[in-house]
Amino acid sequence: MNSRPARTAARDSGAARSGGARATGGSGVNQPEPEPLALFDDLDAVAPPAPPAPPAPRRSEGRARRPASQSDEPGLSPESAISVAALTLATRDIIEGAVEPLWIRGEVVGLKEHRKGHWYFTLKDASAQIRCVMWATDARRALAAPDEGMTITALGKLTVFAARGELQLRILRIEASGDGLWRKAFEKIHQKLEAEGLFAPERKRLLPMLPTCIAVVTSTDGAALHDVVSVVHRRCPITRVVVAHATVQGDGAAGSIVTALHRVARWGKADVVILGRGGGSREDLWAFNDERVVRATAGMPIPVIAAIGHEVDVTLCDLAADLRAATPSAAAEAAAPRLTDLVRHVRTLGADLRDAALARVGTARERLTAAGVSVARAASHPVERRRLALEGIAGRLHALSPLATLARGYAVLTDGEGAPVTSVASLDPGDAFVARLRDGRIHGRAERTERLGEEVNE
């Protein structure tokens, strides 16, 4: 933007124009001349090429020739008449110096976007209007250009557009009034990414049954991390939790989240990622609607669970993720299975396997019998192979049963009634017991019992 260097130059060359100096500078009493260069600032609003600097007002020459008097003050006599530029500049300085940036609410009319990204429009209400300019650098930070007729709340610095002699508001920020701008920005990105298929249901992946490692992209200072960690630890303590820190709100949040997601992807050891933060205002959560963040979410090589706030509308990251959870805790519950459930499931499968194998053996035996074949007589026959297979399978079933443990030299004790003896308290001295071993039983009686670390009971 041309206006920036011009203004800086003016500030550097002039005698340190503080706010106060500006306010009085316009009155032209004992202050240095307003810098003509500063005029470029306004001219730029219409046409980027800056015109040559207007000649400096002659005031100072006159003052140098004659002693100062009331009638010599600029503009107080026909001789000391001032230029239009000097007047508008002085007016601008007075206005700029006297009025701090203000929040103004009004309806947007006639918005034009300059090819360089500046916005020109008028803010009006029932009885008044004011011309506005939003420079590209400021406009870029706005969510979206306001629509015709949209009511906005804007922070603006009052100034004078010298080239037209108009009062002008330089808009620094636009807040979305009645959430029109938010929705507009949201819908713009939503439409674009939806057209690319980023939110398509067929893109959604299933979560792993038992994640080895859950990555969490969030702030290491936030409550979200704590919630995730405690839920995962409670449900599935063998699952590793690795956090990739990201700033989740404010300036730079979007870039930070994208970096953290990429880090997780590049690391490659996590098998699911939770992207989240606790609740927040729409403004707090806006980074999760940023196109870069949404794209990074959709592009993750592992399933993503989004857990972003829960008080406001859905974010685009929620839509791009494989699963949306209301809170970080809910995301952790979705990601981490209950370990006890898995253990039970595997045990059940083991039992099913055993039953199915036994049934198989049973069937094979029936077939052999039905065929009326004597196994001993058919040693050279394929049937013999079946017999060997039967023995083999029996051996493997054996490995699953407590009998295998006995074979290794252990014994199982039962009391006189056949109930298992698992504690010294189960027997009193003199009680009968049965020890079951690999090849038979031993019947005996307890002589005395000793609990570990306790006195002998006789």
Partner 1 sequence: MSFEKKVQRLEEIVRALESKDMSLEKGLKLFEEGIACLRDASTELSKAEAAVQVLRERTDGILEATDLRA
Which position among 215, 254, 317, 325 is part of the footprint of partner 1 (CB under 8 A)? 215
Element (H, E) at 334: helix 328-335
Task: Please report where in the chains the tokens 């107080």 appear, as a residue.
Answer: 76
Q: Please, where are the H alpha helices in 76-127?
A: 84-98
Which position among 195, 209, 452, 456 is part of the footprint of partner 1 (CB under 8 A)? 209
Question: Minimum distance from CB of 384 to partner 1 (Å)?
Answer: 12
* Nearest residue to 243 (alpha-carbon basis) of 269, 266, 225, 223: 225
Which position among 342, 424, 434, 435 is part of the footprint of partner 1 (CB under 8 A)? 342
Question: Minimum distance from CB of 233 to partner 1 (Å)?
Answer: 8
Q: Interaction with partner 1 in 10-29: which residues (CB under 8 A)?
A: none
Which position among 163, 393, 413, 421 is part of the footprint of partner 1 (CB under 8 A)? 393
Question: Minimum distance from CB of 325 to partner 1 (Å)?
Answer: 19
Question: Minimum distance from CB of 243 to partner 1 (Å)?
Answer: 5
Identity of the residue, 68 or 353, whose beta carbon is nearer to partner 1 in the bound complex:
353
Number of CB atoms found within 10 A of residue 279's CB: 15
Kindly provide the residue ranges of all beta strands, DSSP E only, lying in 237-373, ordered along the sequence. 240-245, 272-277, 304-308, 323-324
Pattern 120-159, partner 1, x by CB under 8 A: ----------------------------------------
Q: Does 436 bind partner 1 (CB under 8 A)?
A: no
Question: For the chain, first and last CA: distance in Å?
Answer: 101
The single-letter code of the amino acid at 301 is P
Q: Does 360 bind partner 1 (CB under 8 A)?
A: yes
Which position among 364, 373, 407, 435 is part of the footprint of partner 1 (CB under 8 A)? 364
Question: Minimum distance from CB of 424 to partner 1 (Å)?
Answer: 28
> Phi-psi category of 34—alpha, beta or left, where left has phi over 0 and alpha has psi -120 to 50?
beta
Identity of the residue, 58 or 263, whose beta carbon is nearer to partner 1 in the bound complex:
263
Q: Does 205 bind partner 1 (CB under 8 A)?
A: no
CA 329-332-336 angle, 5° bins = 145
* Nearest residue to 17 (alpha-carbon basis) of 100, 94, 102: 94
Identity of the residue, 301 or 350, whose beta carbon is nearer to partner 1 in the bound complex:
350
Question: Minimum distance from CB of 242 to partner 1 (Å)?
Answer: 5
Pattern 225-244, partner 1, x by CB under 8 A: ----x-------xxxxxxxx
Question: Minimum distance from CB of 270 to partner 1 (Å)?
Answer: 8
Element (H, E) at 38: none
Q: Which stretch binds partner 1 (CB under 8 A): 105-113, 143-151, 250-258, 390-398?
A: 390-398
Q: Does 385 bind partner 1 (CB under 8 A)?
A: yes
Identity of the residue, 117 or 208, whose beta carbon is nearer to partner 1 in the bound complex:
208
Q: Interaction with partner 1 in 264-303: which residues (CB under 8 A)?
A: 264, 266-267, 269
Distance of CA 127 to the CA centre of its chain: 45
Which position among 46, 68, 349, 379 is part of the footprint of partner 1 (CB under 8 A)? 349
Q: Which residues bind partner 1 (CB under 8 A)?
A: 208-210, 213, 215, 220, 229, 237-245, 263-264, 266-267, 269, 339, 342-343, 345-346, 349-350, 352-353, 356-357, 359-360, 363-364, 385-386, 389-390, 392-393, 396, 399-400
